[in-house]
Structures are given as structure tokens and as C-alpha cells.
Amino acid sequence: MDPRDPGALSAPAPTAAHRPARHAAAGMAPPLLRGSMPARPWAGFLRGLRAARPAAPDTPRAPWQAAATRRRAALLLAVLAAASVAAALQLHAQPVRELPLLRLGQVALFTLLFAWISAGFFTAVMGFVVQWRGDRHGLSARAVAQQPLGPGARTAVIMPICNEHVPTVFAGLRATAESLADTGAAHLFEFYVLSDTPDPALRAAEERAWAALRDELAALPGGRAPALHYRWRARRTRRKAGNVADFCRRWGRRHRYMVVLDADSVMTGEALCSLVRLMEAHPRAGIVQTAPVSCGVDTLHARAQQFSGRVLGRLFAAGMQYWQLGESHYWGHNAILRVEPFMRHCGLAPIPGRGGLAGDILSHDFVEAALMRRAGWEVWLVGDLEGSYEQQPPNLVEELLRDRRWCQGNLQNARLITEPGLSGVHRAMLATGAMAYLSAPLWLGFVLLGGVLWLSGSYTMFPATVGWPVELLGLWGLTLAMLVLPRLLGVATVCLRGEQRRFGGSAALAAGAAAEGLLSMLQAPLRMLAHTLFVAVALTGLRLDWKSPPREAQAIGWREAWRRGGRVSVGVAAAMALAAAVDPAALLWTLPVGGPLLLAVPLLVWTSRRGAGRRLRQARLLLIPEERAAPAVLRRAWALAGTGNALTPSTAGPIAAL
């Protein structure tokens, strides 16, 4: 640990029980090579509106930009047309007569929400086309597969961690490093574990694991392994973004590129090399983001999310790649960044003001992508690169705890939409990031507004005497199609690519898609209610706890499930009983939302159980290819995490039951 490091000077002395291995205190990190990472103050929302600056420096337009303009225009027109049709159908089915302000408010809400749904639908359709026909303008890892790596392509692989499960973290890191050693290109890479862990005992465990892994990698024959460093930061400023910036200021000048991993990330050595090849082949690329595959957790909730990501998520990723092209997303992990422009342009100043939407930026990745593009560098999503993996939260509670931070961060980012120089696409990404959470209270408002109109007698969702209006049938049929068809397209994509056997066969694939869709429908009201609460918390500026999701499967007990969802179920039961007392037909109207909320407690418990997930796997439901034939790097990581330094990966991990 460097003596000039403030963390080394201010750290509390560990007790004998917590003291790290003797050799861990020396040689943890390479010599400092200081650099700067300035942060330009934000202009602010109103000043940004008045500013008139070009979206990017004056650089020649790349061939992909004309195609991107056409594709975005087509997407926008399709969304506007769909939203206009939805608004017209609703107005015709329920004319504005009594309570016109409430009716117009309901129409406006539904039109906005339908536009949000249709944007996802048309993105999935574009993804289906890309999966079927390809895209000559997209970035492809296959195009650079044979390109040699030059000696100047020095790359840091950094893993920021904080209070993580140490065996799981270092198992994935070891599997990744060993896979990289097998490529023969490990001499171009250095690994950095960047710890923000405040607990001395846990930090000591990290240092022991680092020292053991360093020695094991050094013992590989022929010196094939990459160097492995460890850095602990005592001053935990600006969370993960601050940790990455601290690395850049200390050692960024040592490297041309850096690959950012999460604590649950695993990547093959070939995937790491392919990312470097892509950067070398595209000198204007500032960030290249992979589409990581979720796997490795076998609770029912996680397995449903893994299946959805493999079937449906791949479609959305391809669709986003189709219309974003060189102005794409950055998700903060499993991606490669060009270090010099990142340090020069992506420093993050705090957002001025007070309250929950001010202060240090929480969801830094979207903002960093926008700043990189503002400086003239391209940001790409590469969808055909295999060997990039991550994990899902093991249960719905942990997913929602993670979403709470993401919600505040995305709402916070919306304050930056008018920043001078940002591209239109990245402004839209900041807006859609906020809309991903604002849509929950908007849906709840739409439902409650319908209830008010129904109680007033001016709105009838289920006409008892005159039958269903054709317009209303068309409207709800169109909405259902927008929600269901992407899953059908995902299944069709798997079949067109001849991959259905990797999902257990055509019947298992279709049944898995139906099961995942049903579970998603049951969990949707819980997510809607939770996200509504998160939006309220963020807007009121209440305290937000920083909590990383666990990397190992955890079941929710009945007491914990009751604490999280019991009061919600009781409140919904009372509301439904009151509505039924007024009009029994109201139960039909409230059942799609109220029914799952009544079942919140057993739903939380059941979906968190590993036994339920394993039984479905044995029935070949919700299978993904990584469970049927897991890549070697995953088998190695699972074996190391489950049984220490086991050398028989075929006996461990989620593949054991297959």
C-alpha cells in the first residue's frame, strides 16, 4: 500500500483476528503514475435550455450516422402513430362528457404510457430483424476475431467492490484470469481489485484472498497469468464512480484501455481480447459495451430473469444496437473504455442543490456515455460477443433494493437532459431512464383515476348492458399485443437460429416463455407499487441506503416476507372488499392489479426458494444454454465459489442437476 495514499494513513489498525496476510501489505499495487480527471461543473437545467452549442465537435460524419438518423426517425414515427391510434380509440370508446378534466387526464396518461410500451415493442421488432438479417452498420466482434493485438494495447481490468461475498468475487476473478492466461495475451492485461469495504474483518478476508490468488496465478507455468493488484480506499467518496475515478488518477496513464467488471462479473479471456481488438479496429470508439448473459443463481426468481434476459433481453439489446449505433448505452460493467478520453471528459461533478436529486451522481454510467459522446467519441453496444456473464439478484426483495438506488440515480440524471452539447439520443436515454421508474406512479395514477371515474358513474370499464365497445376491445387487444408479441418474437428468434435444443427443446422453450410471462405478470403490481414508493422517496429527498445485492442465493422467510408485503396485502384486501360492496363487478376491474398484491407474501417466499427453481430445471423449464452446457469459465467460477479450490467443476454449480 503506497505510503502517500490517504487510505493507508487514516485506516484503523486491524486487530490480530482481522490482520491480513503478512505479505499482503507490500506490493499490492504498481507504482503511481498520476493523472488528472477534471470535472466540469454542470450548467443546470434552465441555463442548459438557454445555451446554444453543437451536439458534438465538428468531425466528419461517419457512415453509420446517416443510417442511425433514418432508423430513429422510423422509430419515432411508429411510436407517435401507435400512441395517436390509442388516444383516438380511447376517446371514441369513452367520450369526454362528464368530468372532462379527469377524462382528459386519463386519456393523456394512457397515451403517454402506451407510447412507452410501443417504444419497447418496436425496439424488439427491430431486434428481431437484426437477429434474422444482421446489420452491416453495427459493431461486430466476429469481424475482428483474427486481428492480432499490438504491444501498445495495455489494458486494465478493474473490479470495484464494496462489502461483497469474498469467495464468489475471487472465484469469478480467478476463472476470468485463468481463461485470459490461456489466450497467450495475458501480458497486455493487469487486474485491479478496488475495494471500498469499510468492515476490517471483511477487508482482511479480501486481502487474504487477493494474496492467495496472486500467488496461484504467479505459479501458472510459463508466466502466462496477468498481474493482479489490490487497492483499498479509506475515503469512500462518490461510491463506485469515485472508486473508478480514483483508479484513473492513480494508474490510468499506465493503460490505453480499461475493462470495468462488477463483483458478479465473469468473462472469458477471448471476450476480453475481442473487446481490445474492437477498440484497436475502431479508433473513434470511446466505450464498447457487451450484452452480458445472466446466469449462476438458481432461485425461481433469478432463473425466470435469466431466461427472460436470454430470450427477450437479447432481442431488446439487438434492437437498441440497431437504432443507437455509435451513440449507445453504457451500463457500467462488462464494458471496455478508452482511458485517456474517459479521464479527460468523463469527470463527474456533483449536481448542485439540495434534496434527493442533488449531490453525487448515483447512476454514473448513462452520464459517462453522454459525456464521452459529447466529446466526439463513439459509444457502441456489441451484441454478438460471447463470453460476458453476470448474475441476477436472487429474489424480488433484493432486486427492488437495487432498483431503489437506480430509481434515484435515473431521476437525478433527468436534471442533466438540457446540458449543452449532449447528443439527442443521449438526452433521450436520460429521459427514458427516468421514465423507467416514473411509469410506475403514472400507471398507478391511471388505475386510481379510472376508479374515481367509475365511482362517479362517468366511466364503465365492463359495460353490463350494452356490451363491449369495439374501440375498447381494440384498445386493450392492441395493448396486450404490444406486451405479448416481443416474447413470441424472442421465441421465434431462438427457433430461427436453430437454438431451441439449447433451451430444452421447442416445447420447453415455449412453456418456459409462458411461465416467465405469467410470473412477470404476477410480479408487475409489486414492482409498480415499490417503484412508486421509490419515486416518492427520491423526490422528497429522504435518505437512501447504499446496499449491494448478495451474490449468492438467499431465500426469504415468511416473517421477512410479511414485513415487506403483509401490510400491502391487508390494505388491498380492504380496498377490494369496499369496492365489491359498492359494485360486485368492480372485482373484475381490480383483480389484475389487486390479485397479485393479495398474494404478495407467498409470492415473495416461493420465488426466492432454490428448491422451486431446481424443480423447474429438472422439468426442463426456464432452461438457458449456460445451464445445459456451461462454458468452462463459468464451470470453473462456480466450482471455486462452491468448494474452494476444487479442480472438478463438473460437480458444482447450477449444472450439477442436469
End of a domain among 406, 428, 446?
406
The answer as to whether 558 is a domain residue is no
- The answer to the question of residue 84 being in a domain is no
Q: How far apart are CA 427 and CA 431, in angstroms?
A: 6
Tell me the C-alpha to C-alpha distance, in Å, between residue 369 and each of 71, 187, 375, 379, 430. 20, 29, 10, 7, 10
427 assigned to some structural domain? no
Residue range 470-490, pLDDT digits in tens: 767 778 888 889 999 999 999
Cβ atoms of 198 and 236 within 8 Å: the answer is yes
Residues 6+ apart with CB under 8 A from 189: 154, 155, 156, 157, 180, 226, 227, 272
The phi and psi torsions of 393 (rounded to 5 degrees) equal -55, 145
In a domain, 542, yes or no: no
Q: What is the mean pLDDT of the segment spanning 14-29?
A: 47
pLDDT(352) > 70:
yes
Residue 468 clears pLDDT 50, i.e. is over it: yes
Domain count, the chain: 2
CATH value at residue 302: 3.90.550.10
Asked if 409 and 360 touch (Cβ cutoff 8 Å), the reply is: no
Residue 293 within any structural domain of the chain: yes
Pairwise CA distance, residues 98 & 93, whole Å: 14
CA distance 117 to 83: 9
C-alpha 647/C-alpha 178 separation (Å) is: 13
Say if residue 337's pLDDT is above 90.
Answer: yes
CB-CB contact of 233 with 250 (8 Å): no
Q: Give the model's pLDDT for residue 474.
A: 78
- Tell me the CA distances in angstroms from 447 to 441, 461, 574, 629, one per residue in order: 10, 11, 17, 45
Q: Which residues are 273's β-sheet partners?
A: none
pLDDT tens digits along 224-236: 789 999 999 988 8
**In contact, 387 and 633? CB cutoff 8 Å:** yes
Give me the torsion for CA of 537, 540, 542, 544, rounded to 10°: 50
| Cα 501 to the center of its chain, rounded Å | 27
Tell me the pTM. 0.88
Structural domain includes residue 369: yes
Question: pLDDT tens-digit profile of 177-200?
Answer: 999 999 999 999 999 999 999 999
Beta bridge partners of residue 191, listed in sequence order: 157, 228
Q: Please state which of the ranges 57-66, 314-323, 405-414, 649-658 shows the lowest mean pLDDT.
A: 649-658
Q: How far apart are CA 134 and CA 143, in angstroms?
A: 13
Q: What is the pLDDT of residue 469?
A: 61
Is residue 243 in some structural domain? yes
DSSP structural state of residue 311: I
Identify whether the C-beta of residue 157 lies closer than 8 Å to the C-beta of residue 254.
Answer: no
Q: Domain of 653?
A: 632-658
Which residue, 371, 406, 441, sits at the end of a domain? 406
Domain boundary among 382, 406, 430: 406
Q: Mind spelling out the 3-state secondary structure of 53-117?
A: CCCCCCCCCCHHHHHHHHHHHHHHHHHHHHHHHHHHHHHHHCCCCCCHHHHHHHHHHHHHHHHHH
Tell me the H-state helices in 287-347.
Answer: 300-308, 314-324, 339-345
Lowest mean pLDDT among 126-130, 152-156, 160-164, 641-645: 641-645
233 backbone φψ class: left, alpha, beta (φ>0; ψ -120 to 50) = beta
167 in any annotated domain: yes
Q: What is the pLDDT confidence band of residue 458, given thresholds at 50, 70 and 90? A: low
